[in-house]
Amino acid sequence: MKNSKQIINLFIGPILYLLIGYGLSSLGAIESSPAKGIGVAAWMIFWWVTRPVDITVTALLPILINALFDIVPMENVISQYSSSSIILIFGSCLLTAPWSEIGLDKRISLKALSLIGPSMKSQITVWLLAAVVLSNMMPNVVVVAIFTPIAVSMLAAAGYKDIKTCEVATPILCAIAWGAQVGGAGTPLGGAMNITAISFIEEFTGAEFMYVDWLIRMLPYTVLATVAVLTVMLLRPMKTGSLEGTKEYFEKCYAELGPMKKDEKISLVLFIAAMLGSFVRPLYADLLPGLVPAYLFLLLGFANFIIVSAEKKELLLTWDKAQKEVMWGMLLLFAGGLALGQILTESGANDTIASLMSGFNLKGGFGTILIFAAFACLISEMTNSTVSAAVTIPIVIGVTNKLGLNPISYVFATAMAMNFESLLPVSVRAISVGYGLDPDKLLKSGLPVMLVRMTVAVLMGLVTINLF
């Protein structure tokens, strides 16, 4: 049974849509179609923030609202739920689906962490850097989901069993969550938010976007943001200077895994092939024009269904296993964001918002980046980076295009700001809180990190628009 606040929030969403979609148009403030598009965004954002229903359920609203009010052609909305971007994420899930059963995820994690030292500074540094590196190869939510229980087990082995009251647990769990966020910005494989941004870029340009271009533009930001976040964390006073036995704990755990098995090698090779194939796409684009990263990932992920395990003499992946491992909720959330972007674009809402924002006398440069960055960061902190990408990127393209600026450079500047979540116990951070991290400590620790990281994002965004 929902409490009264949830019920109220449940009704406020559609009321917002009606007030904006029909109220503003009836007053002559905005034309009917753009007003409805903005109303859809208001409804979805409000529900994403207040959560009267699960955020994944909210992702279905574009279909339902469009079916009721016929804002844009339905086939254009529905197509977003089966776009090539969805195929890419699905293929990535298929590639990593066998990892938990064959132990590859734990092997990669423990190998990285076996280098860790006993001091708290070493702990924070290694956990954060390991999360940064690994989240360049897979969605940040997966990285946090892998690392967090390992960290909790390590703390328990060191004698810290009550995570919520444990002073040393807070910086370690925060290092994992924040490291995954920073690293997730580095490549398109870091999460659905990056694929969302790329989808809007491809829609705007009408051309395929090469993944190596994302790496070139975002790598400097990733490096600087990593250094900035790590510096802020290491400068904070710590009551406990070191833990005992952690390095030995990880080495012991890694040794217990034994030598790398054939199944692990096969699975790792498939993933590396997909990752490298995506980044060297320009080398074979003319020869295989249809093999874009989405279908390369699906092709190699499909291989898991036909490769027989050397150890268990059964398929590496069955459909029953895939159903359990694929993050269906993330796929729907991502698709809902794309569908919202489609409605905003086709209804003319983006052009209307761009016209309204032109009243701020935006001319490009620092002020424009600051506004985009602050807006993207606010949405990311209240919901998640994927929602932020879906809401902000179409607006950024619309505004900058209307101002006669290069939208692509501003998209990347905005992506730097949206690719971080540090304050509230939602999205990726909910995993850490679920394992015992105190939400109040997350908020208190995250505020200075967020401010410093935002400063880096704005400054690097300014460099980006001047270079590209």
Give DSSP secondary structure letters for 99-141.
HHHHTHHHHHHHHHHTT--SBHHHHHHHHHHHHHHHTTTS-HH
Residue 428 has pLDDT above 70, yes or no: no
Q: 427 pLDDT band (50/70/90 cuts)?
A: low
pLDDT digit string, tens, across residues 10-41: 999 999 999 999 888 788 778 889 999 989 98
**Whether residue 88 sits in one domain with residue 67:** no
pLDDT digit string, tens, across residues 433-460: 766 777 778 788 888 998 999 999 999 9
Tell me the one-letter amino acid at 367: G
7 in a structural domain: yes
416 in a structural domain: no
**Whether residue 144 sits in one domain with residue 21:** no
Q: Report the distance separating Cα 33 and Cα 70, nearest Å.
A: 10
Average pLDDT over residues 331-356: 78
| Residue bearing the bigger pLDDT, 7 or 338 | 7
Most confident of 68-82, 275-289, 327-341: 68-82
pLDDT digit string, tens, across residues 290-328: 888 888 889 999 999 999 988 888 899 999 989 888 878
What was the pLDDT predicted at 466?
A: 82
**Whether residue 241 sits in one domain with residue 193:** yes
Average pLDDT over residues 344-364: 74
34 in a structural domain: yes
What was the pLDDT predicted at 441?
A: 83
Closest-CA residue to 139 (of 180, 169, 168, 175): 180
40 in a structural domain: yes
What was the pLDDT predicted at 358?
A: 61
Closest-CA residue to 211 (of 273, 121, 279): 279
**Whether residue 65 sits in one domain with residue 103:** no
Tell me the one-letter amino acid at 98: P
Tell me which residue has tokens 């918002």.
Answer: 353
| Residue bearing the bigger pLDDT, 311 or 259 | 259
Query: Which of 71, 94, 114 is at the close of a domain?
Result: 71
Q: Tell me if 421 sits within 8 A of 384, measured CB to CB.
A: yes
**Whether residue 154 sits in one domain with residue 28:** no
**Whether residue 101 sits in one domain with residue 162:** yes
pLDDT digit string, tens, across residues 114-153: 777 667 888 899 889 988 988 887 777 767 776 777 777 6
Q: What's the domain count of the chain?
A: 2
Q: 236 pLDDT band (50/70/90 cuts)?
A: confident
| Residue bearing the bigger pLDDT, 337 or 61 | 61
What does each C-alpha distance from 23 to 15, 30, 425, 426 come to in angstroms? Answer: 10, 9, 35, 32
Q: Report the distance separating Cα 320 and Cα 36, nearest Å.
A: 41
| Residue bearing the bigger pLDDT, 165 or 400 | 400
**Whether residue 148 sits in one domain with residue 40:** no
pLDDT digit string, tens, across residues 93-113: 888 888 888 888 778 767 766
65 in a structural domain: yes
Tell me the one-letter amino acid at 136: N
With pLDDT > 70 as the criterion, what percentage of the chain qualifies? 90
Query: Which of 44, 71, 98 is at the close of a domain?
Result: 71
Q: What is the pTM of this model?
A: 0.67
Residue 426 has pLDDT above 60, yes or no: no
Q: Report the distance separating Cα 174 and Cα 206, nearest Å.
A: 40
Q: Tell me if 10 sits within 8 A of 52, measured CB to CB.
A: yes
| Residue bearing the bigger pLDDT, 241 or 308 | 308
Q: Tell me if 172 sits within 8 A of 155, measured CB to CB.
A: yes
Q: HSE (CB half, 13 Å, CA atoms) of 348?
A: 11
Q: Report the distance separating Cα 197 and Cα 181, nearest Å.
A: 16
Beta-bridge mates of residue 242: 119
Q: Report the distance separating Cα 326 and Cα 36, nearest Å.
A: 34
150 in a structural domain: yes
**Whether residue 52 sits in one domain with residue 174:** no
Report CA 57 to chain centroid distance, whole Å.
18
What was the pLDDT predicted at 292?
A: 81
Closest-CA residue to 192 (of 387, 416, 457): 387
End-to-end CA distance of the chain: 53
Q: Tell me if 391 sits within 8 A of 41, measured CB to CB.
A: yes
Residue 136 tokens read as 């360049």
How many CB atoms are located within 10 Å of the residue 341 CB?
26
pLDDT digit string, tens, across residues 177-203: 899 888 888 888 777 788 888 888 888
**In degrees rounded to 5, what are phi and psi of residue 119?**
-70, 155
**Whether residue 33 sits in one domain with residue 134:** no
Query: Which of 27, 44, 71 is at the close of a domain?
Result: 71
417 in a structural domain: no
402 in a structural domain: no
User: Which residues 6+ apart lie within 8 Å of 414 measured at CB?
Assistant: 369, 372, 373, 376, 392, 393, 396, 461
Average pLDDT over residues 247-255: 79
Q: Tell me if 379 sits within 8 A of 387, measured CB to CB.
A: yes
**Whether residue 266 sits in one domain with residue 136:** yes
Residue 1 has pLDDT above 50, yes or no: no
Tell me which residue has tokens 């739920």.
Answer: 81
What was the pLDDT predicted at 459?
A: 92
What was the pLDDT predicted at 359?
A: 64
pLDDT digit string, tens, across residues 387-409: 788 878 888 888 888 888 889 98
Q: Tell me if 383 sits within 8 A of 425, measured CB to CB.
A: no
**Whether residue 67 sits in one domain with residue 190:** no
pLDDT digit string, tens, across residues 366-393: 888 998 998 888 778 766 787 788 878 8
Residue 230 has pLDDT above 90, yes or no: yes
Residue 233 has pLDDT above 70, yes or no: yes
**Dihedral sign, CA of 456, 459, 462, 467?**
negative
**Whether residue 295 sits in one domain with residue 226:** yes
| Residue bearing the bigger pLDDT, 398 or 468 | 398
Residue 34 lies in domain: 1-71
